[in-house]
Amino acid sequence: MVNFVKEKSNNTDYINAPWRKYYKEDFKNINYFEGSLYEKILDISNKYPNNIALEYFTKHYTYKEMINIIDKIALSLVSYGVKENDYVTICMANCPKVICVFYAINKIGAIANIIHPLSSINEIKKCLKATKSNFIFVSDFIYNKIRKFKVRKVVVIPISESMNLLTKTLYKLTTKKKYKANNLAKNALSWSKFLSSYKKIHLDVFKPRNKNDDAVILYSGGTTGNPKGVVLTNLCLDAISKQCELMVDDTVPGNSILSYLPIFHGFGLAIGIHMPLSLGMKCIIIPKINVKKMNKIVEKTKPNFLPVIPSILESMVKDKRASKKSLQSVLCVLSCGDFLNYELKNKVEEYLKCHGAKAVIRAVYGLTESTAATCVSLVEDYTEGSIGIPSPDTLYKIVKPNTTITVPIGDIGEICISGPSVMKEYLNNPSETYRTIRVHEDGRKWLHTGDLGRMDDNGIFYFESRLKRLIISNGCNIYPNYLEDIYNKHPFIENSVVIGIPDDIKGQVAKAIIMLKKNIKLTDAVKTNILEYANNNIAKYALPKEYEYVDNIPKTSLGTVDYKKLENHE
Alpha carbons 133 and 89: distance in angstroms, whole number? 6
* Same domain assignment for residues 205 and 268: no
24 in a structural domain: no
Burial of 119 (0-12, 13-18, 19+ CB in 10 A): buried
470 within 8 A of 478, measured Cβ to Cβ: yes
458 in a structural domain: yes
* Same domain assignment for residues 326 and 460: yes
Residue 254 lies in domain: 231-466
* Same domain assignment for residues 316 and 292: yes
What is the crossing angle of helices 96-107 and 63-79, to 10°?
60
* Same domain assignment for residues 187 and 301: no
* Same domain assignment for residues 366 and 241: yes
pLDDT along the chain (570 residues), means of 10: 32 61 80 96 98 95 98 97 97 95 98 93 93 95 88 89 56 52 82 93 93 96 73 98 92 96 93 97 92 90 93 86 90 87 86 90 93 91 87 94 92 94 97 95 94 92 82 84 89 93 89 94 96 93 94 72 74
- The predicted structure's pLDDT at residue 175: 53
* Domain count across the chain: 3
Alpha carbons 482 and 111: distance in angstroms, whole number? 27
* Same domain assignment for residues 48 and 178: yes
Alpha carbons 200 and 69: distance in angstroms, whole number? 16
* Same domain assignment for residues 511 and 440: no
Per-residue pLDDT of 240-299, as tens digits, reads 999 999 999 899 999 999 999 999 999 999 999 999 999 999 999 998 888 888 999 999
Task: Find the CATH number of the domain harbouring 420.
Answer: 3.40.50.12780
